[in-house]
Amino acid sequence: MFTSIQRTTVMVGLIAALAAPVAAQAKNPMVGGAPMYANKNIVENAVHSKDHTTLVAAVKAAGLVGTLEGKGPYTVFAPTNEAFEALPAGTVDTLLKPENKAKLTKILTCHVVAADAMSKTINKMIADDGGTHAIKTVGGCVLQAKKDGKSITLTDENGTVAHVTIADVKQSNGVIHVIDKVLLPKS
């Protein structure tokens, strides 16, 4: 049969094979009931999240699919469907109309940073800046990043505070941090 060394080698191989998916899952969490893959881009992953169908529709309506499929790197603070639903009634439907494409694009790009900023990096910037770090977005908005316990919060130019609910969802072209509010440009 097998020698002691062969049995040990087989067992180590089986343990490694079983542990690999668990380790990968720990590094890249499930979002909206779907696995997020580090070898796929932001759009390829987002379309599978049931919690981000409104965001995906908005990205398509704004014509940003090509950009977010691009090389990057990008950090996307991704509002959930619930975050969009919390906006005043009719806001999302109005923004998705073709005549509001410029406004929608501005809002969405206020959720994007032209960098690959994992939470460890953001936390260090917050600490280095004495508790608040200004983050300039692709859309020209400035978000204020702070710590709230172990979580990161982002405050937009209107005072809306979003909490990062799932951090560090690695993508091939950056990272997604799921947030619970829609961040808006200064009104």
Compute the distance between CA of residue 43 and CA of residue 181 in angstroms, rounded to an integer. 20
Q: Tokens 């950090």, residue?
A: 75
Which of 6-10, 28-32, 36-40, 119-123 shows the lowest mean pLDDT across its residues?
Answer: 6-10
What would the CATH number be for the domain defined by 29-179? 2.30.180.10
Strands 174-179 and 74-79: parallel
Nearest to 185 by CA among 152, 142, 144, 146: 142
* pLDDT > 80? residue 144: yes
Name the phi and psi angles at 171, rounded to 5: -125, 165
- Position 23 scores a pLDDT of 41
Residue 139 class from Cβ within 10 Å (0-12 exposed, 13-18 middle, 19+ buried)?
A: middle
- Position 21 scores a pLDDT of 42
What's the whole-model pTM score?
Answer: 0.83
